[in-house]
Amino acid sequence: MWIWQDLAARASRAAHGSSLVGTVTALVVTTLLIHLLVVYQRRQKLPPGPWPWPVVGNLFVLNGRPHRKLQKLAATYGGLMYIQLGERRCLVVSTAAAAKEVFKKHDQAFSSRPRSLVLTVLTAGTYRSLPAAPYGQYWRQLRRLANTRLFSPATHASHEGIRHGEVRNMMKVLVEESQKGTSTINLKKWLTGVTSNNMTMMITRNRYFDIRDKNQEKRGYDDVLRRSVDANGALVISDYVPWLSFITKLQGWEEYLLGLQRRGREMVAKIIEVDNHKRREKDVTKDESYVPDMVDVLLKAPLDDAGKPLSDGEISSLLLSLINAGTDTTATTAEWVMAELMANPDIREQAQAEIDTVVGLDRLVQESDIPNLPLLQAIIKETFRLHPAAPLSVKRESHEPCVVSGWSIPTQTELILNIYAIHRDPNMYDNPDVFRPSRFLEHPEVNPLSGHDFFELIPFGVGRRMCPGANLAYTLASLMVANLLHSFDWALPDGESPATMDMSEAISFVLYREKPLCLIAKPRRPASLY
């Protein structure tokens, strides 16, 4: 009898287990069907794009080299593509035609910024900085200050002596180092020294760093700068799936960013010395011949029509954002230029011959020479095209609904401008992966500084959120490269050749070279020239 009871009990448990499995299966299937239905209905009025996974959506595309992943997806779905990043909607622009369609008609609609943990911590939750501020009155006031006071044509011209002084200083030290003949030169280190000191000279009229990189303070500065830039391109899961914030905490993101914020503030406080500027302004015995620097300008500049001044914190935040944006990016661009010229020695020799003809042998290259160097300009443009400093623009966000190419785009849709893909758009460029400066000799009218006319070349972004220091970056990169070519013959280290050069990219918000460019320099001009 007990045997039959045991068999009956087992059958009951099996039936119960089968029922439980069936219930779970039905729940999973129902959930997936609801997910598919919701996604399908949502996407009816949105541009095409890859199907999102539950919870995370298409978030995987932001890992690794997102500019390349998004470029590959755009080849399937088109230049205007929709992706789901966790709980956030995102529009990806990957062709010149799509960029023109979006920004000619809807630039203002997409002129805000999405919130993120990185920006929240680095701005102490205020978002009161030029890159991070949402679209509105405060941002417009900051942008007006940048355009009319910090980077106006008159201000840019007044800083020409600073740029020449820093380039001359670099050339002098490079000549001394090359004459030792002991080792190769890490070119990126030297270029970063020029861009760093150029920024601090503009801000405070002080050369803050030893270009030879012998002191700990400069190495600390470089570290803060690199980490700040990298943080802006980091994938923080809680930005996209808030209920997964425990993962962000386990990763230690907030503590890391707070430490970075503290180090950045300490660094900029040493550089700008607001209190010293205020004391000098009140000093009745001050030198009347003193030329105001950026800190002086910002202390006097009204933030709005009512005459409200910027606070010390706002000045620090604004100048720190300019240092972050204008130092490593310009040095990285110049390094890529030299790398491409080392990989293409015939073009390098042509560029040197052009500079020698225009400039001569007894002086350094001046900014006034650059318009007379069409090949150099084409080389710089081609490098901007192949190696944009920021391959993906800082994300924008729509602050109002709009219709783009017939698609209904709702408010709070993020926008990613894939500059890397746009610059390799096969509809705009033949052999887009090949370094060929002659394409810009054939079309010299293409202007990367325009921001609203030539969407096939937009290294500094487009429209209202375009980099305000674009003219400075273009001028300084051109000046550094021209003088490096004019003053030195360059060679690769033993064992390397143009055909075997490593042109790999590092994974970051900025398109760094994975392997720093180390070269041998042989002076072409007497040391007395410097």
**Cβ count within 10 A of residue 266:** 12
Distance CA(464)–CA(530), nearest Å, equals 41
Distance CA(250)–CA(252), nearest Å, equals 5
Q: Is 518 annotated as a binding residue?
A: no
What residues contact 144, with CB distance under 8 A and at least 6 apart?
none
* Burial tier of 107 (Cβ tally within 10 Å: 0-12, 13-18, 19+): middle
Chain position carrying tokens 């980077």? 151
b/e per residue 456-474 (b: at least 16 CB within 10 A): bbbbbbbbbbbbbbbebbb
Long-range contacts for 128-137 (Cβ within 8 Å, ≥24 apart)?
Answer: 128/313, 128/314, 128/317, 129/317, 129/318, 129/320, 129/321, 130/318, 130/321, 130/322, 130/468, 131/321, 131/325, 131/394, 132/321, 134/397, 134/399, 135/108, 135/111, 135/399, 135/464, 136/112, 137/304
Q: Where are the alpha helices (DSSP H) in 362-446?
A: 374-386, 419-422, 438-442
Indicate if the alpha-carbon torsion angle 189, 470, 136, 46 is positive or negative. Answer: negative
Distance CA(42)–CA(57), nearest Å, equals 13
Q: Which residues are annotated as a binding site for heme?
A: 467
Q: Which residues are annotated as a binding site?
A: 467
